Structure 1
Amino acid sequence: MESDVRGLDLKTGVFTYKQIKAATDNFAESNKLGEGGFGSVYKGSLLDGTLIAVKQLSSKSKQGNREFVNEIGMITGIQHPNVVRLHGCCAEHNHLLLVYEYMENNSLAHALFDQDKSKMKIDWPTRQRICVGVARGLAFLHEETTLEMVHRDIKAANILLDTDFTPKISDFGLAKLNEKENTHISTRVAGTLGYMAPEYALWGYLTYKADVYSFGVLALEIVAGKNNMKYQPNEDYVSLLDLAVVLKEKGSLMDLVDPRLGSDFNKIEAVRMMEVAILCTSQKLGFIYAAYWSIRSL
């Protein structure tokens, strides 16, 4: 693994395990920010006072090793207001650690769905700004980086929020390069159920439209304040998106708006955002292009 890291064209720093242990107070439980299938994330502070988030990956699994190298290779040196910044990494012995800028307001999933734990109330202008920010970050990754890429795992848990609620796309462990000479990539399916485009989930047919589909689902969640896969109002609907499509046909999209917003939001903007979100999940290429360009131009 250390040789793999040395072989990369790193534009970020390489930290020692000792430095990261000191920064996180020996990975103190009080500094733990979260935990997932990949491992844990800890808050830390460097000697100069810079706050960091340290992601641990399991060196015992092939997936952990693969995601570690992939993430470094994909986002090292990338700078965009809506993409999380990678400060550096550590690959000493069995320790695989990624060091990011610290996001004060955790993830969008925490803000929207963890109502018991989160005391944050996200107003409509902030939600709209988050949608637009994610769209701009995706457009940058798809078209404006040296390594144009497909993220493959756009979801609320992978959108981090800074102190001003500026959204930043994170977790590039599953990202794939967009091969310009091909119209699509046929690849092993990876991602999160409920956010994956059907042509990708079923047949491994991957283009940037897979990210646009995921963004459409995410935008609906932001307006509704509900998790796509966990919200089932009755047995007729299997997801938030399923319900949204029916409500659009009935002209009743307002029924989907997060009740926590009360009446303090722009109804025209909210409906437009949901309509664009549904277009992003369409199987018709023209609709997808129209939705993609309309949201990123806001």
Structure 2
Amino acid sequence: MGFAHQAEKVEKKSSRKKKDGGEEETGCWVKLRFMGSCMSSRSRVDNSMSGRTAERKPTKEKSRDQPVVPVSSTTGSNAESASSTPKFSEELKVALQLRKFTFIDLKLATRNFRPESLLGEGGFGCVFKGWIEENGTAPVKPGTGLTVAVKTLNIDGLQGHKEWLAEVDFLGKLLHPNLVKLVGYCIEDDHRLLVYEFMPRGSLENHLFRRGSLPLPWSIRMKIALGAAKGLAFLHEEAERPVIYRDFKTSNVLLDADYNAKLSDFGLAKEGPEGDKTHVSTRVMGTYGYAAPEYVMTGHLSSKSDVYSFGVVLLEMLTGRRSMDKNRPNGEHNLVEWARPHLGDKRSFFRILDPRLEGHFSVKGAQKAAQLAAQCLSRDPKARPRMIEVVETLKPLPNLKDMASSSYYFQTMQSDRARSNLNAKNGIRTQAGFVVRNGQPLRSLSSSNGPQASPSQHPHPSPKPKAKES
């Protein structure tokens, strides 16, 4: 897609998360895999308050998200620079409903930013679970009052004061059921913190890809897709001034207790074009694998850039695969390029659906979702639908009951797949449409590029699918 892999510095870190085994749910941002940077930040925080030294915990895995690096810079604005910290009083636009917290209140609310309260880390900094008064700012005993997620700015991170201001500015004035609610903020000396509502089901990314998780049922996947689409549609067409989200991906879609989707992390959001303008020109920022190709190549950002990113996420939900996965066989690293030829085929698209669904998905719904993904992923931005049109297409899909498990075609396909697996165990493989044993073709079989095993998933938050739906 034309990304510059060799650039010296990336513009945005990807999220890094790990299950929080000490809490009853995964939390708004799940437990961090790499705690080093968070703990070094916490060390500075504690030293500034009490001289204490933070603990460190060993970790094992890195996030697979790869940030987009700058490809072109067509403006001279410092709005996306993390280098300088301008005067707070001149730049902060505070909505009246936001609460202003003191640093000591948030330190006590998160139990001194201790590792057990850590929920995760992004390019902005670390996120901790905390408890405050229902209608105030004072800390309360854990398990009482209002549960919140407290995000701290890492002064050594790749995002800085300007992105912090963007979060306050956008989420402070944009209120919608499908946007994460910003409760308040704190700014004292070098400390920059944001306080959000706590999202007990964590991120969509963890439900789809976390090792050992149960698969999300079809109806819930479509419910999440619909909620996320409503959030983007609000930003594009219902906000007082259009907003381009610019970093739509599975890790930024958070889920409440009922699996209602809410968009989070507005640090890269931009106000959309006004008047007759079709786009805004800006430095290329976002996450590799989700950014629209025309944006990567030209720096021209429009609402259709978000539509493309939505198409990528919808495809991840359909297939159970990550947008970029170098652990896949050659030709399957890039999800969009691998899946694109199948999306318009009413028969072959079944082969790219997440095998963990085991036929428990709507045939008509899957067909419509695949067609919608293909439209959103069009190489021509003008051919992509508006998000309000995406919402209308998705509305009926969570409630469709024509399960593939009762479809004759699906049963035949499953039988062919089982036969292929048995042949593989017996040393028989397929090649160019033929079964091959010891290099000799035997007879024709089904296509050899059926679905591969999707990444393993995290068990706790995802409900177990029913055995059969009527």
TM-score, reference length from structure 2: 0.60
- Paired residues in the alignment total 295
Higher mean displacement: 279-288 or 194-203: 279-288
CA contact (8 A) 2:312 2:373 kept: yes
Structure 2 spans left out of the alignment, 5+ residues? 1-84, 135-144, 396-470
**Which of 220, 238, 242 matches 2:315?**
220
Q: Which whole-Å CA distance do the structure 2 matches of 1:91 and 1:59 have between them?
A: 13
Root-mean-square deviation (Å)? 1.9
* Rg larger for: 2
CA contact (8 A) 1:135 1:296 kept: yes
**Which of 198, 204, 222 matches 2:293?**
198
1:46 aligns with 2:46: no
CA contact (8 A) 2:230 2:387 kept: no
**Which of 360, 364, 383 matches 1:268?**
364
Q: How does 1:244-263 map to 2 (within 5 A)?
A: 244-248=339-343, 251-263=347-359
Structure 1 spans left out of the alignment, 5+ residues? none
Secondary structure at 1:55's aligned position in 2? strand
- The residue aligned with 1:35 is 121
**Shift of residue 249, structure 1, vs aligned partner:** 5.2
CA contact (8 A) 2:123 2:157 kept: no
**Shift of residue 158, structure 1, vs aligned partner:** 0.4
1:238 aligns with 2:333: yes
2:236 aligned partner, one-letter code: H
Distance 1:248 1:277, change over 3 A: closer
- The residue aligned with 2:252 is 158
Between structures 1 and 2, the one with greater helix share: 1
% identical equivalent positions: 39
Q: Which whole-Å CA distance do the structure 2 matches of 1:275 and 1:206 have between them?
A: 24
CA contact (8 A) 1:2 1:92 kept: no
- The residue aligned with 1:74 is 170
- The residue aligned with 2:225 is 131
CA contact (8 A) 1:107 1:158 kept: yes
**Which of 190, 199, 206 matches 1:94?**
190
Q: Which whole-Å CA distance do the structure 1 matches of 2:125 and 2:105 have between them?
A: 19
1:74 aligned partner, one-letter code: F
**Which of 1, 10, 14 matches 2:94?**
10
**Which of 187, 193, 201 matches 1:105?**
201
Secondary structure at 2:186's aligned position in 1? strand
TM-score, reference length from structure 1: 0.93
Secondary structure at 1:53's aligned position in 2? strand
Q: Which whole-Å CA distance do the structure 1 matches of 2:214 and 2:151 have between them?
A: 24
Secondary structure at 1:160's aligned position in 2? strand
1:265 aligned partner, one-letter code: F
Secondary structure at 2:254's aligned position in 1? strand
Q: Which whole-Å CA distance do the structure 1 matches of 2:340 and 2:156 have between them?
A: 43
**Which of 252, 255, 262 matches 1:168?**
262
Higher mean displacement: 169-178 or 9-18: 9-18
Q: Deviations over 1:186-228 (max 9, x none)?
A: 1111000100001101110110000000000000111112111
CA contact (8 A) 1:228 1:241 kept: yes
CA contact (8 A) 1:231 1:240 kept: no
